[in-house]
A and B are shown apart, each in its own frame.
Chain A
Amino acid sequence: MRSGNGASYQPGRLPRGARPRPRRSTYYGPASHRSRVFVLTVLLASLLLTLLARLAYVQLIDPNKPIQSAGLTHLGAITVPAPRGDIVDSRGRVLVGNAAVQVLTVNRSALDALDDKGIAVLDRLAGLIGTPAADLRREITPCGSTVPAPCWTGEPYEPVPVATGISASVILAVSEHAEDYPGVAVQTQSELSYPGGSSAAHLLGYAGAVSEADKKTDKALVDADTIGRSGLEESYDQVLRGVDGTQYVDLAPTGEAVGTGPSVAAKPGDTLVTSIDSKVQQLAEKSLSDQIATSRKAGNAAPSGAVVVMDPHTGRIIAAASYPTYDPALFVGGISNADYAKLTAPAANDPLVSRAIAGQYAPGSTFKLVSLSDDVMSGAMSLDGQYPCPGSLTVDGRVKTNYDGESFGGAITPKFALQVSCDTFFYAPAVAEYYADQARVDKKQKPLEQEQAMARAFGFSSAPGVDLPADEQASGTIAGRATRQARWDANKTQYCADAKRGYPEVTNPTNRAYLTLLASENCTDGWRYRAGDNADLAIGQGDTTLSPLQLATAYSAMVNGGTLYAPTLGWAEVNQNGKVTKTITPKVVRKVPVSKQVLDFFGDSLHFDDSHAVSGALAFDGSPIKTLIGGKTGTAEVYGKQDTSWFASWGPVQPGQPVSNAKYVVVSMVEQAGTGASAAAPIARKVFEGLLGASAPAISPGGHPATVLPKIAPTVRTTTAASAAPSSSPGAPPAATASQSANASPSANTGQSANASHSATASRSVTSAPSGLPDAVPTAGTSMGRRR
């Protein structure tokens, strides 16, 4: 540009003198300015030509045209929740499955397209399903700042479930008279089903709706999902959850669905194979509840109990029953307020808590496994020695008696002491150990606390590490100097206050005096770990508590020669093609520091013969399998209550054969039901009779736990996605426009409503369940809060 025009600036080239007027004479002015304007013209022309070229390319040439918005930005996405994986037992029987349920849905945009905005359709529908039309109208109205609950929290174009589990006549009415019900559809959805009813409820747990907090911690979760809330459903949630699918719907600019778009199928969750044997589980549950009924008839309170059946060689749980129990099906689709209130009422006695795994009880004499191990391993006792078993023993100024004060005179062998369950026999070494430790404490040395160490080695006072949520397994307590001090530090103010107060609310003067004395002792000396405490520990009393599961694990270690397992329920994960993706192998926690000789001695000593030599044998009188079983009773005294009845047993072991031949360990426990032999042992008897086939064929084939993984058939599940009914006539330009983004989500939350007149949740993906059970408080209305 410069080179071309530079010369024209030379003054010499321009007419002088007559400036600037002469330019008028030429229409287009002097050359210099003309060339400048010419440059401008060229520039502008090139701009326009650029536009034309680009326009031609975009409109006529470009082969990659962007997809029209009618098919792109206004594709609405409806989440198709993935069916949760099944939970099956060790023989492949379904414990938690998926059932197809018929759900009646209403498509709001289809109704809106009608002349009367769907009033007539809703009225007809109301008559059909017995829900007031006004309620239906509210339910399908998308939530918004001005829309109070109940309202629809999903996308406006999503079909809203208004009734679930509908009858065949309703389905027929809607499908036969489709013209009367535009926008109304019947969908099949998948929801959890429990073929065994409440069986194994505590192990399986339950699943519920996703909460806002869940969505924060796991971005993959959406409202439509179901999340495991307890039990295996919670601990294996990632395995069972699957991957949600998406059904796309074509949306008119108005936001209404006008057709069905592509879909991405949901990937069902993997199947979890467990070591549970559902037949054994049912037998354990029935035996437990039967015994509780019997115990109650006999005048005992027997409020609760538990049974654990374990494979002692792997630590796998074959059955774990807990009484009272609950029906996990109540949680499907969100538990109603009434049901939840019932489950949590004091009268219900906490059915949600697993007594077998989360319960903590004084174990009584079943704890003598630990005492004997400690006494022998520490050298305080010899297996072939003889030691006294007096009727009573004074420890630290207090008289401690045998159960019912019985005495076997003179010195007895450890075997006999175990068989008759002599307490005083085990007091002496425990007290001696205590004083030896006190001497060390006085010398500023660390106490050995061998008894406590042995208890911990057997897995007590720490979580058993079962593959269940951490808050659903009890650790129990083993008292010692440190724990006592810690407890006192935490509670001394309360102790002293209670001592001062004197328990005026307790009416019984004896109890009042006892409690007050206890409080004042605790106030001043509560930190002190006494010789009597160590004696109590030796017989599983005092502060000693543990769960039936922990006891089964410890007895399994005794049977298998000393290996302490972390008990497991999960056995394998199988994907939807039936392929095993992961086998869950039992985890060894440790070898207990006890010689096999001592463990075998314990098992052999407590093996039943035809006699009543072993205290638990009484309960097996008349049973054909009596001589195949060994077991230790426990009768734990609880202040102010009846005794806790325990029985820890193993079998089958042919007489004279090593205890490690036993295939099962069965631990049973009934609270406030009397001696171990009177309540707990009969339960174990029924379980063993079933396991070993005493009267009928054995319920576990071969008389042993399953050793091979069951074959799991590939999953075929039907979950139809929402199909949006076309609602606007094609060809005509859409009448109105709505949101630009199909992904905008309504801001309002699921509401709380007191309208309990009907329950209309569709599936577990449409729930209003309290999401954090058992801690969370349920929302106020039954099943009315909407979730997708």
Chain B
Amino acid sequence: MTAVLRPYRPTTGPSRSSGRLRSYDRVLLVAVFLLCVIGALLVWSATRTRLLDEGANPQTYLAKQVLNTALGAVLLVLASRVDSRLLRLLGPALYLASILGLLAVFVFGSTINGAHAWIVLPAGFEIQPAEFAKLGLILALAVLFGQRAERRAAGMPPRPRELLGALVLAIVPLGLIMLQPDLGSAMVLVAATFGVFLSAGVQTRWIVAMIAVGVVGAVLAIHAGLLAEYQLARFAAFTHPGQDPQGVAYNITQADIAISHGGLLGQGLFHGAQTSGAFVPEQQTDFVFSVAGEELGFAGSAAVIALFGVVLWRGTRIALAATETSRYVAAGVVCWIGFQAFQNIGMNLGLTPVTGLPLPFVSYGGSSMFAMGLAVGTLEAIHRTNRQSSQR
């Protein structure tokens, strides 16, 4: 990893440290930091009563989440120092590594919540290769389009051959993730691919055609029984939540109860009836937003959404300022974060079907935090390159 690091030497600024900080998009960092802090508090609130009940230290999850966040921050800093021009090397490497990781899941993997998606490491850590595959795919697609872009007339849309290559690149991890099966991650991959395609100038008709094929494929998959039982059940619970209140729909119902009783200002941190009663399963991970809804109310949860708005705003701003490969990466990352946040909060609000997806920066979990650290670090790296370019 150190080999690809290129220490940044400030050309401007009064001091090295302040200059280094100034080279970051600080608004983005602050938004991400606030989301992480809120996330840690919500994870704490969601897990403390359960842990107390088990006679364990009520801060166990909090501590692990703080550690996850710290490691994510380290990854963020490391990634931010990578020269974005090295992405051509890094992209394919991370892509291949994540493909290997996805394959490894089938050999060493463990099944959690229906998806065979985790590799359990010693010391209580698990890795979910799919999280890294998202970044890997974005980088690989961006590099593919970027390389070709140089050979095209400026502004020319990618040629069908490039498009075909990009599709092959996307389909490999997508297929592996669908096999786990992890529908949520697969949807995020599609969204990220969409972001890269869009920013890379792929013609609208191709994008529309791909969306159409995707929709038809999804319908066929459901009818052909390609989806796992639990996935269908989740969809059924989404469309008919009253059908099975103790089963799959339980999550939805309980999260709905929690959020709807938050009101404007919420019941107060650590004071949510549903949350402290541990009624909402997976509340520290996929349903962490329901804690915000209940305990922080509309004000707090709208603030969470607003912070995502800030993250996405800064992300698109970086994408706008970037060129070719970097721009595609930034657009892909923004799409990734944006869609995953939408999907996660949406399922908490009963807006989208339940799929196992963490809320970026907020949900408990290492892999997501690490991948997000890398993603934001990449954005920051692009930002710095943009600044350097514009200052030159």
Contact = CB atoms under 8 A, between A and B. Distances in A.
Contacts of B250: 740
29 contacts: A8-B155, A9-B155, A9-B157, A14-B154, A15-B154, A30-B154, A30-B155, A37-B199, A37-B316, A40-B198, A40-B319, A47-B342, A48-B308, A48-B341, A50-B342, A51-B342, A51-B346, A54-B349, A55-B301, A55-B349, A59-B263, A65-B261, A69-B279, A253-B49, A735-B49, A735-B52, A737-B49, A737-B50, A737-B53
B156 interface: yes
B316 A68 contact: no
Contacts of A130: none
B281 A740 contact: yes
A55 B298 contact: yes
Interface in B212-227: none
B254 interface: yes
Contact of A68 (B155, B273, B345, B386): B273
A38 to B, nearest CB: 8
Contacts of A52: 302, 305
B175 interface: no
Interface in A1-49: 1-2, 5-6, 8-9, 11, 13-16, 19-20, 23-24, 27-30, 32-34, 36-37, 39-41, 44-45, 47-48
B201 interface: yes
Interface in B239-268: 245-246, 250, 253-254, 256-257, 259-264
Nearest to A743: B246
Contacts of B203: 9
Nearest to B55: A736
A253 B305 contact: no
Nearest to B208: A2
Interface of B is mostly: helix
B46 to A, nearest CB: 12
Nearest to A39: B198
B301 A5 contact: no
Closest 9 CB pairs of A and B: A736-B53, A253-B277, A2-B204, A19-B154, A737-B278, A44-B338, A47-B342, A59-B298, A69-B279
Nearest to A65: B260
B154 A56 contact: no
A36 B201 contact: yes
Interface string A51-82: 11011101110100111111011100000000
Nearest to B316: A41
Interface in B286-343: 293, 297-298, 301-302, 305, 308-309, 312-313, 316, 319-324, 327, 331, 334-335, 338-339, 341-342
A66 B253 contact: yes
Contacts of B229: none
Contact of B274 (A29, A69, A735): A69
Nearest to A19: B154
A657 interface: no
Nearest to A6: B204
Given A37-B316, A740-B281, 14 more contacts: A2-B204, A29-B327, A33-B199, A37-B199, A40-B331, A58-B256, A59-B260, A59-B301, A60-B264, A68-B261, A68-B274, A74-B277, A733-B271, A733-B276
Contacts of A19: 153-154
Interface in A125-145: none
B204 A27 contact: no
A55 B327 contact: no
A16 B334 CA distance: 30
A777 B213 CA distance: 68
A32 B201 contact: yes
B349 A69 contact: no
B18 interface: no
B63 interface: no
Contact of B351 (A11, A51, A59, A70): A51
A601 B84 CA distance: 123
Contacts of A24: 323, 389-390, 392
B321 A736 contact: no
A23 B338 CA distance: 27
A741 interface: yes
A14 B155 contact: yes
A254 interface: yes
Nearest to B266: A59
Contacts of B256: 58, 66
Contacts of B345: 51, 55
Contact of A735 (B53, B259, B338): B53
A44 B52 CA distance: 40
B195 interface: yes
B205 interface: yes
A14 B201 CA distance: 14
A69 B154 contact: no
A734 interface: yes
Contacts of B338: 44, 47-48
A48 B312 contact: yes
B156 A737 contact: no
A6 B274 CA distance: 51
A736 B319 contact: no
Q: Most chain-A Cβ atoms within 10 A of its Cβ — which of B270, B279, B281, B386?
A: B279
A219 B154 CA distance: 75
A554 to B, nearest CB: 60
A734 B309 contact: no
A45 B278 CA distance: 33
B245 to A, nearest CB: 8
Nearest to A4: B204
A58 B324 contact: no
A27 B246 CA distance: 55
B19 to A, nearest CB: 20
A37 B346 contact: no
Contacts of A58: 256, 259-260, 293, 349-350
Nearest to B328: A33
A36 B203 CA distance: 10
A752 B102 CA distance: 53
B199 A60 contact: no
A62 B260 contact: yes
Contacts of B321: 27-29
A680 to B, nearest CB: 65
A40 B334 contact: yes
B254 A44 contact: no
Contact of A54 (B156, B297, B324, B351): B351
A37 B155 CA distance: 14
A36 B335 CA distance: 13
A557 to B, nearest CB: 60
Contacts of B302: 52, 55-56
Contact of A69 (B156, B277, B297, B335): B277
Nearest to B49: A737
A199 B292 CA distance: 70
Nearest to B250: A740
A256 to B, nearest CB: 12
B149 interface: yes
A665 B334 CA distance: 98
A253 B278 CA distance: 7
Q: Most chain-A Cβ atoms within 10 A of its Cβ — which of B203, B204, B302?
A: B204
Contact of B324 (A20, A36, A39, A62): A20
A68 B272 CA distance: 11
A734 B276 contact: yes
A682 to B, nearest CB: 68
Contacts of A68: 257, 261, 273-274
A55 B154 contact: no
A738 B277 CA distance: 9
Interface string A99-125: 000000000000000000000000000
Contacts of B323: 20, 23-24, 29
A253 B279 contact: yes
Q: Most chain-B Cβ atoms within 10 A of its Cβ — which of A27, A39, A44?
A: A44
A70 B254 CA distance: 11
Interface in A726-756: 733-738, 740-741, 743
B349 A36 contact: no
A737 B297 contact: no
